[in-house]
Amino acid sequence: MTTINTLQTKLYSRYDEFDPEQDGNKNTKFADLIIDGRSLYQMLKKHDMVPSLGWGSEDHQKEMIQYFLLKKPHEHMYYRYPILVCPWCGDEECGYISVKIDREEEIVIWKDFKLEHENKSINLGPFYFEWENYERVINNTFRIIEK
């Protein structure tokens, strides 16, 4: 039997208010993905990327949500999606971490995390989420920095 993971989001930023690293660096705010109480950002922090949801232009945020809800495939990766991106611009050309997302009936599966452009596997997951909760959580990332 597959263990169902819990997914939540939390408004987060790269640096806390006392972190000396924030001076001169972009302190991007984003929707951190919390899996079973653990921050995805913190799990992958060594790669210096941030989650792709909850920030950027309105059109960009809507596109990311469409990807994560499997309403449209990524134009280059099909059913792989950029889950963590450059904290400065979010551009995939800067490098990113991708994840394969599948849906089997009412279960969404995140698996096969990779550090792109190196095509290097990251030992994380798979994670299984109930569709109803997953859909609500992903939709709630829209404009999270303004909420």
First to last CA, the chain: 38
pLDDT higher than 90, residue 62? yes
What pLDDT sits at residue 22? 57
Q: How far is residue 143's CA from residue 76's CA, in Å, rounded to a whole number?
A: 25
Whole-structure pTM value: 0.88
- Taking only the tens place, the pLDDT of each residue in 7-60 is 999 998 876 666 566 556 666 889 999 999 999 999 999 998 999 999 888 998
For residue 103, which of 62, 67, 145, 143 has the smallest C-alpha distance? 67
